Amino acid sequence: MSKAASSNTQERTPLSPAPLMQLATGFYSFETFATAVELNLFTRLAGGRRVTVEELAAELGFEHRPADLLLVACASLGLLVKDGDAYRNSPLAEEFLVVGRPAYFGGFVRYCEHREYLGWHRLMEALRGNRPVTWDPRTQDSVFADVDPEMLELFWEAMHSLSMSTAACLADVFDFTGHARLLDVGGGSGAFPIVLCRRYPHLRATVYDLPHVCRLAQDKIDAAGLGEAILTQSGDFRAGDLPGSHDVILLSNVLHDWDEGTDRDLLAACHRALTPGGVVLISELLLNTERTGPPAAALMGMNMLVETAGGKNYSAEEITAWLVGSGFEDTHVIGLDAAGANGVVVAHKH
């Protein structure tokens, strides 16, 4: 063996199971986080309030040990900050985990806790059966069917939490100045139009979704005071044509819910509905070209296995090919640093 090879062998960092330990115990972090949200811990500490272990124990009816362990764990996760002998919200928690704040993210955390966490316990069943485990395709049309109103409300609150911040990121990277009418297909709670119409006051938007979803969206739109700028229109985008007379169509985390055939049909419908010169925006957690990640997109694909009958996350190249096949031109991808998406695929109709 040469001296160089021997030196390289000696200098090689030994493998450690530490990354595997982190993977194996990931649920420790999630359950600590989710339980703190359920306890409204961060809302209790809103506005800079500080709390000692003794004060929190008395407030929650806990003994000293569990109150102490909860505060220490939340501080270790960057959710609380130690301030003398007390704890207060970190900037992250103050911004996103206080009930009533515009960018409140707790809805998504609660949905993961009450719905998806239990479903993921049946992942092996989903893998072996290639079918969702959180609902039964034999008894309902899709995961979005109006079957369990309480869970649906929790779901759309989760999506609203996620979409508000993602929409703000989209507004930062795409200029809507030259567009007048937005159609948000599968628009859910209306978070994207709410954010975009606030940022671009000239913009008018329509949320297109199932009737029971439109009712939820209307409540959010009215609460935002944007009833004149944003309309809702009931329909099923899988049924065929979309509402016309829009010069920009948005699909945010829609394609990953469905199989390739459904997505191709939807993009063809988008092309028919857009006015000449219009643009379609597809906001997603996109896989890389090699299909090796990033983890957020790949693991969301696994979540689609648990939650949908045919959904998966796709790469920008796959989506671009479908767009071109539908007649779109001038496609490109804009990177996005958001909780709900890492990129926007943009395509034009000439």
Residue numbers annotated as active site: 256
- Give the distance from CA 289 to its chain's centroid: 22
Q: Tell me, rounded to whole angstroms, the distance of Cα 310 from its chain centroid.
A: 18
- Residue that the structure tokens 């993961």 belong to: 112
Could you tell me which of 235, 282, 250 has the C-alpha nearest to residue 181?
A: 250
Q: Cα–Cα distance between 118 and 110 in angstroms, integer?
A: 12
* Amino acid (one-letter) located at 229: A
DSSP letters for 130-189: TS-SSS-TTT-S-TTSTT-HHHHHHHHHHHHHHHHHHHHHHHHHS--TT--EEEEET-TT
Q: For residues 191 and 142, give the distance between their C-alpha atoms in angstroms, rounded to a whole number.
A: 22
* Exposure b/e, 1-23, CB count within 10 A at least 16 = b: eeeeeeeeeeeeeeeeeeeeeee
Say if residue 243 is preceded by a cis peptide, omega within 30 of 0: no
Burial of 169 (0-12, 13-18, 19+ CB in 10 A): buried
Residue showing tokens 């079918």 = 131
- Total count of residues recorded for the chain: 350
Say how far apart CA 185 and CA 242 lie, in whole Å. 8
- Distance (Å, rounded) from C-alpha 335 to C-alpha 25? 31
Are 283 and 253 contacting, i.e. CB atoms less than 8 angstroms apart? yes
DSSP-derived letter for residue 17 is S
